[in-house]
Each structure stands twice: as C-alpha cells, then as structure tokens.
C-alpha cells in the first residue's frame, strides 16, 4: 500500500544541514501492523510525517496506493490525508470548548463531508465513550482523551492510521487499553504504523522497524 525508495530528508538548521533520514527503503502492506522504534533523534517522527504527507522528502520516491506523492501540490496532499490517513499523536489536540461528539466530528467540517449523527455516535461507542458524548476534554481522563482522538482519526474511514507515541502521556493501565483499541482496529483491516518508546508494546506488532541516525537498521 505504501512504498518508500531511497527516501532522504534534510533540514536546514542555520548553516547546518541535518540528515533526518538517509536512504530509507520500506514497504508497508495493506492491513499491516508495524511498529517503529529507535532512540530520540533517530528519525521516527520524521518518517511518520512523510508517510502522512505532512512533509515532503528531500530525495527518493514515496507512493501510496501506487500514486507518487512527492511532487504533489498541497491541495492534492490534503485530499490524500483526508481520504486515506488517520493521525493519533502523543498530545491529544482536542479543542477544549467542544464536546466529545463535536471533537470527533471536526474533521468532517474541514473536509465538508456529511456523516449522519448515528455514524459519529457509533464511532464514539466503538472507543467506549458513548456515555461521555457531551463531556468536554477537561471532564475526561488522559486515556479517555486519547480514545476521543482515535475516534476522530477514524471519522473519515482511513485506510491506515499513523500513531506517534499514542501512549506516551499515559500510565501502564491506560497504555494497555489504548494499545488494545488500536490492535482491534488493525484486526478490522486498518493498517497501523505505531511509533513508540515502549518496547513491550512495540514487540506486539507484526513487524518492528528499527531506526538509528536516520538509517534503517533492520526489521523483525
């Protein structure tokens, strides 16, 4: 579903060039569950941003469903993000003044997409928060806020979800609940790419990709 060939990413930091990714060759299959691990600064988040069309590589090719996206206009990338990709981050990025229902519905407003009320409610029920439908984020626990973020990531029926340290701000119990929820989505056929420092959670994916200094060190 996703293929990267010779991917390079270089950032300019003043007069210095920072090589965030160096010659990455990687394929991600439809419905696959893959974790990405490595020390801080290894390129994990940069890789996720490229996969999600939030950034563009300096060199190499990136195809999604056979479509080369590297030289696409921003308007075309927006369409791909809205139609194929769901994002879950370490920080929940919920709108404080909006209810759970309104936060989950938000991407539909940006995309001018219609969805029936019961479809949105069913997504909230899927993540176990139907009883919190009208609560605002300050009335929720950290684990509940992350579940809202996952429901929001699902609202456009994505083909794959990119999760960047989704359990990083949670305790052990809530981390396990979020992992189980993400795993259940994978079992429904959604591809999942999980960046995590939690080696125990990473080991439960179908495949582990290891990065160091912007280079792919191997997979298992």
The pTM assigned to this predicted structure is 0.90
Q: What is the pLDDT of residue 113?
A: 66
What H or E segment, with its residue span, contains residue 35?
Answer: strand 33-37
Counting the structural domains of the chain, the total is 1
**What does the alpha-carbon distance between residue 51 and residue 220 come to, in Å, rounded to a whole number?**
20
Residue 104, domain CATH? 3.40.50.300
50 close to 60: Cβ distance less than 8 angstroms: no
CA distance 83 to 112: 12
CB 218 within 8 A of CB 26: no
Phi-psi domain of 174 (left: phi exceeds 0; alpha: psi -120 through 50; beta: other): alpha
d(CA 70, CA 123): 32
In whole angstroms, give the CA distance from residue 113 to residue 17. 41
Residue 87 structure tokens: 């994002």
Confidence of residue 8 (pLDDT cuts 50, 70, 90): very high
Q: How far apart are CA 90 and CA 197, in angstroms?
A: 11
What are the tens digits of pLDDT across the range 73-93? 999 998 898 889 999 998 899
What residue numbers bound the domain in which 141 lies?
2-219
Tell whether the model's pLDDT for residue 218 goes beyond 80.
no
Phi/psi for 204 (5° steps) reads -90, 0
Mean pLDDT of the chain: 91
> Sign (positive/negative) of CA torsion 52, 56, 61, 67?
positive
Residue with tokens 């991600």: 28
Q: How far is CA 76 from the centre of its chain?
A: 19
Give tens-digit pLDDT for 128-146.
999 999 999 999 999 999 9
Over the stretch 81-126, which tens digit does the pLDDT of each residue have?
888 999 999 889 999 999 999 999 988 887 666 677 888 999 999 9
pLDDT digits (tens, 9 = 90+) for 149-175: 999 999 989 999 999 999 988 999 999
The pLDDT, as a whole number, for residue 112 is 63
How far is the C-alpha of 190 from the C-alpha of 156, rounded, in Å? 12
In this predicted structure, the answer to whether residue 38 has a pLDDT above a threshold of 90 is: yes
| pLDDT score of 13 | 84
Asked if residues 159 and 191 have their Cβ atoms less than 8 Å apart, the reply is: yes
Work out the angle between the directed axes of helices 117-126 and 142-154 (0-180°, nearest 10): 130
How far from chain centre, in Å, is Cα 22? 22
Contacts of 200 (CB under 8 A, 6+ apart): none
Does residue 5 surpass a pLDDT of 70?
Answer: yes
Decide: 144 and 132 in contact? Cβ < 8 Å. yes
């Amino acid at each position: 579903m996703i293929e990267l060939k010779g991917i390079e990413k270089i950032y300019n930091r003043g007069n210095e060039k920072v090589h965030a990714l160096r010659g990455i060759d990687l394929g991600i299959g439809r419905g696959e569950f893959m974790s990405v691990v490595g020390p801080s600064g290894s390129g994990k988040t940069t890789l996720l941003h490229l996969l999600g069309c939030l950034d563009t590589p300096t060199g190499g090719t990136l195809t999604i469903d056979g479509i080369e996206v590297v030289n696409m206009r921003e308007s075309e990338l927006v369409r791909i993000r809205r139609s194929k990709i769901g994002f879950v981050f370490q920080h929940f990025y919920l709108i404080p003044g909006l209810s759970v229902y309104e936060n989950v519905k938000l991407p539909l407003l940006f995309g001018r997409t219609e969805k029936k009320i019961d479809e949105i409610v069913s997504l909230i029920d899927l993540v176990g928060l139907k009883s919190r439908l009208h609560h605002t984020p300050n009335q929720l626990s950290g684990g509940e806020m992350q579940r809202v973020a996952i429901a929001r990531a699902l609202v456009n029926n994505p083909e794959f979800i990119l999760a960047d340290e989704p359990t990083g701000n949670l305790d052990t119990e809530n981390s396990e609940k979020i992992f189980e929820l993400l795993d259940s989505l994978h079992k429904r056929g959604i591809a999942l790419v999980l960046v995590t420092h939690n080696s125990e959670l990473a080991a439960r994916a179908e495949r582990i990709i290891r990065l160091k200094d912007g280079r792919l060190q191997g997979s298992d």
